[in-house]
Amino acid sequence: MRIWSTSVSMMFREFALLDRFMAARKAGFVGAEIQVLAEGDPQAMGGAARAAEMDVVLINVGMGDYLSGGSGLSGVPGREETFRAEMDKALSAAMALGARFIHLGPSRIPQGEDRERCLGVYRSNIDYAMGEHGRRGVGGRVLIEPMNRVETPDALINDIDTGADFIRTHYPGGLGLQFDIYHVAMNGADPVEAFARTADVTAHVQFSDMPGRQPPGDGTLDFARIFDGLERAGYKGWFGAEYMPRTPTLETLDWMQRLG
């Protein structure tokens, strides 16, 4: 039986933040993902998750202006101190929440900036993140997530194979890959074939239908085939729903029984 987690930052927004955990649990999810920590207080969110008997599967490090179309933080020259401050907040939150994964967040290459210089900043920031993660004894695993070239052509890491190769080259056995079926498919790749190439470094899987981050069944992807393919390739972890409901989330969950 598949284990489902849900983004309480993108989904169940018809409920107040702390009520989303219990609403998601009653709907059949057993894990929560928090993409926007700044929306609430980590201690309070941790209490709400525990009351709902939900694991906090994943949190995101603060991304600065990325969500509003800016460059973000993780690989942007001149913003290293801001990234590190957000990383410190995320590590403290991860301890309060018992988070399994900490996603470092994407960034864009600023106009006129050199990609190699941005990659150097990215590596320096990852070194800091991994070092602090180990020094503080925070549980869970640090992840990176490639975006897609269609929606974010200027993303520093915008391809799943590039992300996997980056990990193998620089952080083998440490940093993990966040495999988002949506981003992979938006790049024109078959998620099953892409997962077979990257399973050795993949730690967590997220999903939504395409285009437009829809609920499964509202777009073009065959999730029964994709999920079966990932499991045949050895994936045994969480499947994280990360879509943007156009109606109340509870009205969009028919896929859970169909794909469970």
- For the chain, give the number of residues: 260
The predicted model gives 133-156 an average pLDDT of 96
CA 160, 32, 83 angle in degrees (round to 5)? 60
Peptide bond into 245 cis (omega under 30): no
pLDDT of residue 26 exceeding 90, the answer is yes
Three-state secondary structure of 99-157:
CCEEECCCEECCCCCCHHHHHHHHHHHHHHHHHHHHHCCCCCEEEECCCCCCCCCCECC
The predicted model gives 9-14 an average pLDDT of 98
The predicted model gives 141-148 an average pLDDT of 98
Task: Please report the pLDDT score of residue 255 as a whole number.
Answer: 97
54-70 per-position pLDDT tens digit: 999 999 999 999 999 99
Domain span including residue 251: 4-259
Q: How many domains does the chain have?
A: 1
Task: Please report the pLDDT score of residue 37 as a whole number.
Answer: 96
236-252 per-position pLDDT tens digit: 999 999 999 999 999 99
pLDDT of residue 79 exceeding 90, the answer is yes
Task: Please report the pLDDT score of residue 188 as a whole number.
Answer: 98
Task: Please report the pLDDT score of residue 1 as a whole number.
Answer: 82
Report yes or no: 179 and 206 within 8 Å, Cβ to Cβ.
yes
d(CA 24, CA 220): 25
83-116 per-position pLDDT tens digit: 999 999 999 999 999 999 999 999 999 999 999 9
Task: Please report the pLDDT score of residue 219 as a whole number.
Answer: 96
pLDDT of residue 133 exceeding 90, the answer is yes
Report yes or no: 58 and 87 within 8 Å, Cβ to Cβ.
no
Task: Please report the pLDDT score of residue 260 as a whole number.
Answer: 84
Nearest Cα to Cα of residue 222 among 192, 178, 253: 192
Task: Write the CATH number for 133.
Answer: 3.20.20.150
Task: Please report the pLDDT score of residue 39 as a whole number.
Answer: 96
And the tokens for 2?
């598949």
- Please tell me the pTM assigned to this model: 0.96
**Residue 159: its H or E element:** none
pLDDT of residue 218 exceeding 90, the answer is yes
Q: What percent of the chain has pLDDT over 70?
A: 100
pLDDT of residue 14 exceeding 90, the answer is yes
